[in-house]
Structure 1
């Protein structure tokens, strides 16, 4: 029900009253496509394929209670007290174990414990960016990074990915162009493993070359790696940091996806001068991350059960990914393409160009199902025909039903658009052809080209 007219007038009056007090920065702020949906997707009747949610119901309640009881007995006073801004030594020890599992050895002195991985992005922006500074990012990019870049008034240049991640030759061409224009990026932002939202993984040759480019041009790289340990197929690849990127890599890690998002604990590893400035920025933001959750993590890792729990998550999410891919083949139009990720939490779907997923979301919400529209992963209006689907946060039955509902809405939208445009209806969907091994990360369903097809937003 809409608010009463009087309330609407009051809200408008309040906005006018305070408008002169807002900083110029607020004019550039954007809302996160994911956070906008949180209130809606909390409703029990809504099937949410939108959030980047781990399934926290998998963590045994009795283990949580036992760990918290142990913290209360052994560390109550310390857990309820402020801690050092850079984080507790016991937390850094757990972080070292996690990074060692990905073949990356780090010095505890190079670690900054943060309030989730999102704070790392904010602190990097706060530390490095002045208004108008250039950031290079993948296209699409993490929808949660978009508001951070906008808040610090960055000029973001996005480079379209393929099945092997960001093409480094295109990156180098872009850097050359920016240099000719007198604009040197402050950092390159990449999610090399099971990219959010694209689902693709950067190949080893590209990782090696990216590290070389960063050193040659003296540009920092923000390596965002929340999903590296959530691999369901294929061989693990080394982190950029472990490939010799110590001098120019800021590494972002988090416990959100491998343990619990509610802990709000992440970390950064960075060159000492950069880490020192980030520490100052964090002091001004929140003084320190929660001592209570840091003690919880330490007690949990002391039990030595984190790796078996992580393996159980991998098995669970692998099955849910497979269910989603099967449901997409069954319910989405033959013209649609999507990634087939080897890990992580997301599938990136690209629909026929006639479909605008921002409009589609409104129709989908009427059927009690949600996803993230593709435009939330771009800063230039692209992505209108794409969407991000999450397969980790709900069970298999809900995944099947959610994809079915979205597919139904897509069909209705296509039928409406083609009826209005006078286009002939498409024939019944054909069975998908076997994927080309050279494009193992992307499933393309064959479809004859339609000469009257128009791209409304330039997206692929």
Structure 2
């Protein structure tokens, strides 16, 4: 039997290949979520880290029926290459999804992609030269961070509150860029149930953002994977519906309403931009999976897809409430967190002096995981915050996972108090209506939301 070749040492590997790497690799970073995937796949780990929908609820009989029908009637087509822009049938499904949110689109303006993540990559590939400015929320989607870094963008992050991106701060940032003689290539926002913060951009801010884009002829990349996962409150118009399609690139995906494993997303963009994105996709993967596209179209044809989404919404709403109650029971009084009206995430912020990157290492020894807040920033902020996912695990695991996190937080707080010789010097943040208070610049990585008083905490514990 032939012997396996000996692997060179890591230092030798680096020495051998370092001179071959492109300059962009020096600023490439890993996704905070992907780095955790190998760990969180272990069955003993309660993962509150991934942006995972609950795929165990998809009916196995329906899956088998769809795949059987594909094998009988469309096998040769399914196993073949498809058009780069996507099949006509799956584009019709995308039109239905967008119409469900009040957005009317022409199928000719749609580019089918390999998941929503590819849209971010293609937009950067199409628009961004090294050093170009991208504007994003603070915090932003952790998966966008490595994409922006890979294209060597200069990312300016705009603080948020309970009503989403602060448009007044955005206008100040744009004025600063004007003085520098620079124009951002696009503004990246997640207006509905933002990842990671869970907050939703208010209607006045949406209207003003679209107005700014039109006045300045700026592109907006509207990342909207969660818009149909609303549990309470009234739906708000998409940025594209407010804009009409001149300056908004819409990003959508079937990952959260059917399955992330099928890896089908889409972009709707102004046609000159879409044409360049299509060319960029040809160089990346030729076309998205034909099998996955036909699966989606057969699924839409064989069932009421909205019924499945409605069932998921009920499930996720209950799990959100379970997590909110667990946070009130197990996190210290100084902690704050968002209360999302939909989506998959809660953004929790711990007392000053704690660092969630360090905290994660300790939490993993208790077999529980979350995404540290620094993964949602490009400038080192977010150290006291964490992203928590409530959709991917059951009620009991949510309660137990938050209990374990609470234990680790309490231990670190006790240690910190012992080292400092007294109570933590946490700056007071008085209660206020969400979105009405100017945030302290020193706390720019903290979403300024109403704080809980002792009575509220006690009431939550009683309900638990």
TM-score by length of 1: 0.92
Shift of 1:439: 6.2
Structure 1 position 124 matched with structure 2 position 92: no
Pairing 1:178-217 to 2, within 5 Å after superposition: 178-217=177-216
Structure 1 position 26 matched with structure 2 position 33: no
Shift of 1:420: 1.1
- In 2, are the aligned partners of 1:335 and 1:446 still within 8 Å (CA)? no
Corresponding residue for 1:274? 273
Shift of 1:73: 1.1
In structure 1, how many angstroms separate the alpha carbons of the residues matched to 2:433 and 2:142?
Answer: 29
Distance 1:425 1:436, change over 3 A: closer
Structure 1 position 416 matched with structure 2 position 423: no
Secondary structure of 1:250 counterpart: strand
Unaligned runs of 5+ in 2: 1-5, 437-447, 455-464
In structure 2, how many angstroms separate the alpha carbons of the residues matched to 1:85 and 1:269?
Answer: 14
Shift of 1:304: 3.2
Corresponding residue for 1:69? 68
In structure 2, how many angstroms separate the alpha carbons of the residues matched to 1:33 and 1:385?
Answer: 15
Corresponding residue for 2:11? 12
Shift of 1:314: 0.2
Corresponding residue for 1:235? 234
TM-score by length of 2: 0.91
Structure 1 segments, 4+ long, off by >6 Å, are none
Structure 1 position 445 matched with structure 2 position 452: yes
- In 2, are the aligned partners of 1:340 and 1:442 still within 8 Å (CA)? no
Secondary structure of 2:165 counterpart: coil
- In 2, are the aligned partners of 1:47 and 1:370 still within 8 Å (CA)? yes
Corresponding residue for 1:174? 173
Corresponding residue for 1:454? none
Structure 1 position 222 matched with structure 2 position 229: no
When structure 1 is superposed on structure 2, of 121-130 and 242-251 the one drifting more is: 242-251
In structure 1, how many angstroms separate the alpha carbons of the residues matched to 2:432 and 2:80?
Answer: 56
Secondary structure of 1:161 counterpart: strand
- In 2, are the aligned partners of 1:110 and 1:271 still within 8 Å (CA)? yes
- In 1, are the aligned partners of 2:219 and 2:249 still within 8 Å (CA)? yes
Shift of 1:443: 4.8
- In 1, are the aligned partners of 2:368 and 2:405 still within 8 Å (CA)? yes
- Cα RMSD, aligned residues only: 1.6
Unaligned runs of 5+ in 1: 1-5, 427-432, 448-460
Pairing 1:291-330 to 2, within 5 Å after superposition: 291-330=290-329
Structure 1 position 259 matched with structure 2 position 258: yes
In structure 2, how many angstroms separate the alpha carbons of the residues matched to 1:250 and 1:359?
Answer: 37
- In 1, are the aligned partners of 2:163 and 2:434 still within 8 Å (CA)? no
Corresponding residue for 1:458? none
Pairing 1:89-168 to 2, within 5 Å after superposition: 89-168=88-167
Corresponding residue for 1:3? none
Shift of 1:334: 0.2
Q: Could you give the per-residue CA deviations for residues 102-156 of structure 1, whole angstroms, max 9, x where no partner exists? A: 0001000000000000000000000000000000000000000000000000000
Secondary structure of 2:388 counterpart: strand
Shift of 1:445: 2.4
Shift of 1:437: 5.9
Structure 1 position 378 matched with structure 2 position 377: yes
- In 2, are the aligned partners of 1:340 and 1:443 still within 8 Å (CA)? no
Q: Could you give the per-residue CA deviations for residues 339-359 of structure 1, whole angstroms, max 9, x where no partner exists? A: 000000000001001110000
Shift of 1:446: 4.1
Distance 1:305 1:418, change over 3 A: same
Corresponding residue for 1:289? 288
In structure 1, how many angstroms separate the alpha carbons of the residues matched to 2:218 and 2:227?
Answer: 23
Corresponding residue for 2:459? none
- In 1, are the aligned partners of 2:161 and 2:435 still within 8 Å (CA)? no
In structure 2, how many angstroms separate the alpha carbons of the residues matched to 1:204 and 1:148?
Answer: 28
Corresponding residue for 1:43? 42
- In 1, are the aligned partners of 2:434 and 2:450 still within 8 Å (CA)? no
Structure 1 position 59 matched with structure 2 position 66: no
Distance 1:236 1:424, change over 3 A: closer
Secondary structure of 1:444 counterpart: coil
In structure 1, how many angstroms separate the alpha carbons of the residues matched to 2:405 and 2:11?
Answer: 36
